Copies of this chain bind each other. A is one copy, B any other.
Amino acid sequence: MRFCSACGREVERRIPPDDDRERFVCAHCDTVHYQNPKIVVGCLPVWEDRVLLCRRAIAPRAGFWTLPAGFMENSETTLDGARRETWEEARARTEGEELYTLFDLPHISQVYMFYRAQLSEAEYAAGPESTEVALFLEQDIPWEDLAFPVVSATLEHFFADRRAGNYPFRARTLRPEDWARLRR
């Protein structure tokens, strides 16, 4: 950020009155430009004993497998966003969604949420951001070729919870130093 989005003049970095941290502030019109974490929402779509993964067509992590997910948009709910992303990336419709995992990623100022969901029917296809979409049995999950730690962690929880027979909501922080403990 270099310029004020309200008046077009240059911004500077300073601590506003009654605040305790540096913000981008316009020296001309005094507007404070706050920057806050973003929410990424997605689904873990299940069909019988298999889960749906998408192979990424785009950066970051092109060629690696992921669960359908993306930035939440204004005016939608987290579930609206998770369904929208599942349609955009996997051309799949879901039902019976339950919020299942929530990850704090403070090193990139993101909060990730996945809904566990049933595929409404066994129909899916690659959307514009995927090269391939497929259903995987647990033993066929490409653990070494998963795109993101949040995907590895969500799948690990899912298969463990499926064996245990219940799926508690799980919230955790995933910092880079935690990645080595994930399956791959």
Contact = CB atoms under 8 A, between A and B. Distances in A.
Interface of A: 1-11, 18, 21, 33-39, 71-80, 99, 102, 104, 106-107, 109, 111, 128, 169, 171, 173
Contacts of A4: 3, 5
A36 B71 contact: yes
Chief secondary structure at chain A's binding surface: loop
Contacts of A36: 38-39, 71-74
A112 to B, nearest CB: 11
A76 B106 CA distance: 5
Nearest to A11: B5
Given A77-B106, A99-B102, A169-B169, A33 B5 contact: yes
Given A4-B5, A39-B36, A72-B37, A80 B106 contact: yes
8 contacts: A2-B6, A8-B10, A36-B38, A36-B73, A39-B111, A75-B106, A77-B106, A79-B173
Nearest to A99: B171
Nearest to A168: B169
Interface centre among A18, A33, A78, A128 (most CB of B within 10 A): A78
Given A7-B3, A38-B36, A111 B71 contact: no
Nearest to A74: B109
A75 B128 contact: no
Among A5, A7, A169, find the residue whose CB has the most chain B CB atoms closer than 10 A. Answer: A5
Residue of A9, A18, A72 with most chain B CB atoms under a 10 A cut-off:
A72
A2 B3 contact: no
